[in-house]
Amino acid sequence: MALDSTDAKDSTRDISGAPRLDPDRWLNGHGDVLFRFAKTRVGRSEVAEDLVQETLLAALRSQQQFRGEADERTWLLAILKRKIIDHLRLRDRESAFPSFHKADEWVDDLFDQRERWKVAPGNWERGPGAAMERAEFWGVFSDCLGKLPQRMAETFSQREIDQLSTEEICKELAISPSNLWVILYRARMRLWKCLDKNWFGGEREQ
């Protein structure tokens, strides 16, 4: 992000008592919130950490543009959201999507030769409604999202968390709708199984 060309004017404003922004204070005050937000979008902790770093760095470089109209956190979150979009765009240009033509052994392994469930879906006795009111559930959920292959997690988040239409995602990734459906199916199966195992896991009726 380019430096504001009105440095002189802004530094006068600083002297005149406008709040001087302190990056370490941002890190302590908003770092975790930014990290959590990023993590639900990109899955992997390392990627989310990098995004927080880039966000704070961009904020530092453009702090003259922060005029205290929005609150600091809202401003930082707006920068983070742009950084996440940039990250997804760049990634799309740099690497082709892993093949969806190949069979997904992980999913195949849920079924027997006649394509019936190898292990019957559990009955989720722990009650989904109550689960969502518990912080631990969201921790497990986030871990499960983090275990998806990177591109799969990001595509899933765009579709389900940010609710983009399949058309928008196909355009952005330059893939056909049927390929997107395959990716989303594989992502849902992994998440479902992960939640089943790590949260809802109960008795198994065969």
Partner 1 sequence: MNIFSCKQASQMVSESMDRPLRLRERVTLRMHLLMCSFCTRFVRQMRVLRRAVVQLGQATPESSVLPQVSLSTEARARISRVLSEG
Q: Note the residues at the interface with partner 1 (CB under 8 A).
A: 23-24, 27, 31-37, 39-40, 45, 49, 52-53, 56-57, 60-61, 73, 77, 110-111, 114-117, 120-121, 123-124, 128, 132, 135, 138-139, 141-143, 159-163, 166, 177, 180-181, 184-185, 188-189, 191-192, 195-196, 200
The least CB distance from residue 184 to partner 1, in Å, is: 6
Of 52 and 173, nearer to partner 1 (C-beta) is 52
The least CB distance from residue 122 to partner 1, in Å, is: 8
Of 90 and 161, nearer to partner 1 (C-beta) is 161
The least CB distance from residue 133 to partner 1, in Å, is: 9
Helix (H, G, I), strand (E, B) or coil at 117: strand
Of 16 and 206, nearer to partner 1 (C-beta) is 206
The least CB distance from residue 160 to partner 1, in Å, is: 4
Residue with tokens 């990627």: 47
Angle among Cα 127, 44, 138 to the nearest 5 degrees reads 20
The least CB distance from residue 107 to partner 1, in Å, is: 8
Helix (H, G, I), strand (E, B) or coil at 111: strand
Q: How far is CA 54 from CA 27, 31, 48, 80, in A?
A: 12, 12, 10, 8
CA distance 98 to 149: 10
Q: Which residues make Cβ contacts (< 8 Å) with residue 137, sequence separation at least 6?
A: 131, 199
CA distance 48 to 38: 5
